[in-house]
Amino acid sequence: MIFWSRLYISVSLATISAALNNGVAVKPPMGWNPYNAFFDCGWQGKARNSSGGFTWDTTTIPSGIPALSTFIHNLGLKFGVYSDGGAFACDFVGGTAHYLGTLGHETSDANSFASWGADYLKYDNCYAVSSTDFVDFNPPILIEPHYTTMRDALAATKRPIVFSICEWGVQDPARWPASAVGNSWRISNDIGPPASWDNLFRIINQLVPITQFAGPGAWNDLDMLEVGNSGLTAAEQQTHFAFWAAAKSPLIISTDLSNPSTQTLNILKNPRIIALNQDSLGKSIAFKRRYTNDHDVWAGPLADGSTVAVVINWQNSARSLTFNLADVGFSSAMGTDLITGTSLGKLTNSFTATVDAHGSMVLKLSGGMAVAQPSFTFYQAAASTNTLAGGASTRVVNSSVTVVGFIGEGGTLTINGVDGGSAGGTKTLSFDYINGDFVFTNTDCSNCRNAFISVNGGTAVQVQMPISAQSWDILFSGYLVTMAGFKAGKTNTIQISNPNAFAPDLSRVGVSV
């Protein structure tokens, strides 16, 4: 949820022809919002005026919203307002404030916002179900129509207004698709306050299956920035900012800027990281590889033909970390450290650097030489030759996909007759799975499930698999894991289990050849 009283934001209003096609947010919006720093909310009035129009709190804003808008515009900035697609807006007092919401007043309120000179509307989701249902993460109604109604009302004003929809990731908005509804959409519940590394982990996992939906005029919104606030180390704040930028999330500063630290400014003003966010190609980084409890690798293309790679250190201590270029498809490339601006010269096969706890590498790779990708022999999880035990069972997803579920809590899947080739040894495995176990609060594995993989009865290795969607019918394909212990020939076994919880539902496993 977002409880904003006001938002001053700079956005691009250049013409576009894709996504929502309202001509704005060609690049991810960047700006400032007071929420995480001041916890303020409630600029709205609590009653409409005699003609049913939207009102503001005259004590908080005695000069009025139009005057405030003029002041902001005179600073050379764009001006944004906040409202809610429910009976009342969100608040900090358990839903008892009853600030004005816009549900049922979309046309009137859109006209008011436009007449005030609004350039941006953040549209929240409190009281969306009824006037007595404050926050509902599993509403009994479809919430998309609340947003399409406001989209159309804004369009009718003929004023270019960035439409930022804030549905907290409820009902998998990227797949509506939200790109036809708003210029950005929240993919998850709030990042805070308070800020925490666990919140970042939850949001990063939730992004994994939906990076492909972002593009010019339509952006996955990972929520406001916590850079400058307590709760995150300097390294965590740097990782947070760089990842949000490379994922093409709106970059909305939300800290007290009246006296920012040098550290805060150094992170927020890094021109190379900002350039990632504002790159004209508008392609988000995508998930490439997770080395469970060690590091993630994400990468994406840039307009100049180069690639950005973001490598996150999941460990709780500073250490030497090695990035394998093959994880982003290269054997070699010219490298630049985008955090420091240092030219790294030609990188061949790998790059090793000391990375702080929860810190990151952010590398621009140019002139990359492609590396041959592994090929796989695939084994269907539901094949009759496999062994399902302890409650594991098959489930038909559709005419072409059958999975094995209830792996874990005593249930196991053993894939038999796996070919280890002529030499055995270490193999790359490729998993296709379904994991719809999404969450709005932090858990032991927020927006992920653990599987434990064992080859030929050897020690099981933990593998942490992010969600594939918010439903149990969408596959995530190509999750890679490196496993040792294979023997030559076709008598190998791969067992998947989880002693304490359930693993994802598995469709198939590929073994490199």
Q: Point out the residues that are catalytic.
A: 124, 190
Q: Sign of the CA dihedral 207, 209, 213, 214?
A: positive
Cα 342 to Cα 375: distance, rounded to the nearest angstrom: 36
Please write down the HEC assignment for all residues of 369-386.
Answer: EECCCCCEEEEECCCCCC
Closest alpha carbon to 185 in 12, 35, 28, 32 = 28
Give the CA dihedral 91, 93, 96, 97, nearest 10 degrees: -50
Cα 144 to Cα 141: distance, rounded to the nearest angstrom: 9
| DSSP state letters, 414-435 | EEEEE--TTT-EEEEEEEEEE-
Q: Is 372 left (phi over 0), alpha (psi -120 to 50) or beta?
A: beta
**209 cis-preceded (ω within 30 degrees of 0):** no
Cross-strand bridge partners of residue 69: none
- Would you say 487 and 392 are in contact if contact means Cβ atoms under 8 Å apart? no
Q: Sign of the CA dihedral 418, 420, 421, 427?
A: positive
Buried-state track 55-84, b at ≥16 Cβ within 10 A, e below 16 = ebeeeebeeebeebbeebeeeebbbbbbbb
Cα 253 to Cα 262: distance, rounded to the nearest angstrom: 15
Residue 513 neighbours by CB distance under 10 Å: 12
- Would you say 15 and 24 are in contact if contact means Cβ atoms under 8 Å apart? no
Closest alpha carbon to 479 in 492, 466, 469, 470 = 466
Closest alpha carbon to 173 in 132, 216, 123, 133 = 123
End-to-end CA distance of the chain: 48
Closest alpha carbon to 257 in 238, 234, 223, 229 = 229
Dig out the tokens for 103 from the structure: 């549900």
The size of the chain, in residues, is 513
Q: Sign of the CA dihedral 309, 310, 313, 314?
A: negative
Report the helix count and the strand count for the chain, using DSSP H and E: 8, 27
